[in-house]
Amino acid sequence: MSRTAIISDIHANYHALSAVAADMYAMQCTDIVCLGDVVGYNAYPGECLDCVRNWNCPVVKGNHDEEVVSPSQARMNKVARQAMDWTRNQLDAERLKWLSSLQYQRIVRSDNGVSYTIVHSSLDHPKAWNYIINADDATSIFPRQFSNICFHGHTHVPKIFFWNGRHAVEDYDTISALYTDGYTEFQPQTGLKYFINAGSVGQPRDNDPRACYAIYDTDLNLIIIKRVEYDIGSAQDAILAQGLPEYLAERLASGV
Ligand code: ZN
């Protein structure tokens, strides 16, 4: 059996990560991949980094993972930068070195030989940290996608795009089930390319505060996206206890 949990944008939210970890074991996942932004915003960067590192799974670099190691001062808003400066002080040289060693994109091969791509933001300019929000944005991705399936994160909003041979199309119907049922699944069609946003574990921004992650079952040719309840109050308390910006605690409750 080859069933991989696809987790993205953990953002140092250990309460959310723990809940997702329990869920992915309950869902009988055999493997894990991580789409980056392990740190930033929330109160447990070291714990989340160690957890992902101990899984020894494929991981790609996110913009927060890069920023904490190589501050650019340009790209981030004030709140994000405050959290980033705090985060940098929480991580020792060895952990920073691990973050800096991450690649921008990777090909993952599952146990049954199915290959797919993982990237944090986009395939045409992975280091530019573009946000792929709609089908127009996604149209520039597909000429650079050489596998049928690519998973990404970065916007913190779960989405499914596919290539119809001429342009990208957004699959609203499959995602809409996620908002009614907290769960959706689909079978990718042979010959079509898909660019799939797995949502965010640690800071969802689609007005649903529950943690979000995806599962790719390559035996069943099945992709699942689902939500997981977690202890938001404790994650908020930890943010405030560390003196991080209050807004970072508030936004967790509303999922923005
Ligand atoms: Zn992020």
For residue 224, the CA-to-ligand 1 centroid distance in Å is 21
- E strand map for the chain: 3-7, 31-34, 105-109, 115-119, 149-152, 159-163, 168-170, 183-186, 193-197, 211-217, 222-228
Nearest CA-CA partner of 43 in 75, 17, 67? 17
Q: Determine the residue type at 210.
A: R
pLDDT for residue 1: 75
Distance from the first to the final alpha carbon of the chain: 36
pLDDT for residue 53: 98
For residue 185, the CA-to-ligand 1 centroid distance in Å is 23
Q: What is the pLDDT of residues 150-185, one digit of tens each?
A: 999 999 999 999 999 899 999 999 999 999 999 999
Q: Determine the residue type at 18.
A: S
d(CA 40, CA 83): 6
Domains of the chain plus CATH, in order, are 3-254 (3.60.21.10)
For residue 40, the CA-to-ligand 1 centroid distance in Å is 8
For residue 30, the CA-to-ligand 1 centroid distance in Å is 25
Arithmetic mean of pLDDT, 220-225: 98
For residue 7, the CA-to-ligand 1 centroid distance in Å is 11
Rounded to two decimals, the pTM is 0.96
For residue 112, the CA-to-ligand 1 centroid distance in Å is 30
